[in-house]
Structure 1
Amino acid sequence: MQRSKQILIVSHCILNQNTVIPDEARAAGAVISAVEWAMKQGYGLLQLPCPEFTFLGLDRPSMTYEQYNTPEYRKHCREILKPVLSQAEDYIKNGYEIAGILGIQSSPSCDPTRGIFMEELTEMFAEKGIKLKKLWYLPNTSEPVFDSEKHFVE
């Protein structure tokens, strides 16, 4: 079977809502509408680690962008992104395309336009000459329905 050779980088909790803080989960497991869309596009999925879970654990408080915006947290984000960057570089070296990234609207870490983790990811990729062409986000609603046209960041 022919590979699409297109990789979508996906925030951890889109594929695993079990890492989300209590009362914020939007699905029982994976967010089905986002997964179905990615599958229909033929994207391979590169799941990001959850920076908040790996930094503070599962039983962590709800925090804001400002509370996470510390040198320690940014250093942690960069550290856990190293393997992701290495994988992306290997994909590119072998003729694959990084199609874009799918993040979480209003997340202090994974909002594609204003999330600490996404800021560090974008900067690290740029340092290696990798430009992320498209950014999508999962809406911040209790019942998320992903729409690639509506939830695209230009």
Structure 2
Amino acid sequence: MFSLRQLIGRQKPLADCRSGRLVAVIHCILDQNVRDHGAASFPAANWAFLDLCREHRVGMLQMPCPEVQCLGMSRARPAGQSLRDALASLAGRAACQRLAGETAALMAAHVAHGHRLLAVIGGNMQSPGCAVHAEASGLGESSGVFMLELVDELLRRDLAVPFMPLRDADPQLLAEDMRRIAALFSEGIGGN
């Protein structure tokens, strides 16, 4: 009769197949159900983006939806107040800062374990929380409230990560963004 310790010692270690590469993606890329009513571009998830990640062996860290986290699924707010104004309010900004801190901590943990964080993938140009408007100096002020808080938090942690949009509300912009992301994924595939 073998003891449990002897049986465990006889097993061959499992091969670790992870690529060590990942992107942080906005919640709705993987779950369109969290989008505001009328804003979903796909029935469930952006399958083309998921296929691109699978093809290039890139993992996905799903970031929280700031609108749902701050305002709930119904995006409750005072009559006449826009989603952006709700997220930019003192309470909304504090919630986005908290979410950005938690998200950046998880990203930093990945990097500390030797994983390559390739990019933060944001959303459509009109997204109040997750829009990515890139400028030569970084994210433009018209970017989403959560994205602006996240870039600040990553800078505080000395994590240099490119922010890229995935503008799936427009098929032409989506194709352009997918080409850019595919090019990023193809760079330095051999290393971690």
Q: TM-score, normalising length from structure 1?
A: 0.86
Which of 151, 163, 172 in structure 2 is aligned with 1:122? 151
Show the counterpart of 2:59.
Answer: 44
Q: Is the 8 A contact 2:23 2:58 kept in 1?
A: yes
Higher mean C-alpha deviation, range 119-128 or range 136-145: 136-145
Higher helix share: 2
* Residue pairs, 1:15-26, within 5 angstroms: 15-26=30-41
How far apart are 1:151 and its partner, in Å?
6.9
Q: RCO (CA 8 Å, sep 6+): is it higher in 1 or 2?
A: 1
Q: TM-score, normalising length from structure 2?
A: 0.70
Higher mean C-alpha deviation, range 62-71 or range 43-52: 62-71
How has the CA–CA distance of structure 1 residues 72 and 142 changed in structure 2, closer, same or farther, with 3 Å as cutoff? Answer: farther
Is 1:74 aligned to residue 89 of structure 2? no
Higher mean C-alpha deviation, range 130-139 or range 85-94: 130-139
Q: Give the letter aligned to residue 58 of structure 1.
A: M
How has the CA–CA distance of structure 1 residues 63 and 81 changed in structure 2, closer, same or farther, with 3 Å as cutoff? Answer: same
Q: Alignment partner of 2:178: what SS?
A: coil
Give the gaps of 5 or more residues in structure 2: 1-15, 134-142, 183-192
| Count, aligned residues | 152
Identity %: 22
CA distance in 2, matches of 1:137, 1:145: 6
Show the counterpart of 1:13.
Answer: 28
- Cα RMSD between the aligned structures? 2.5
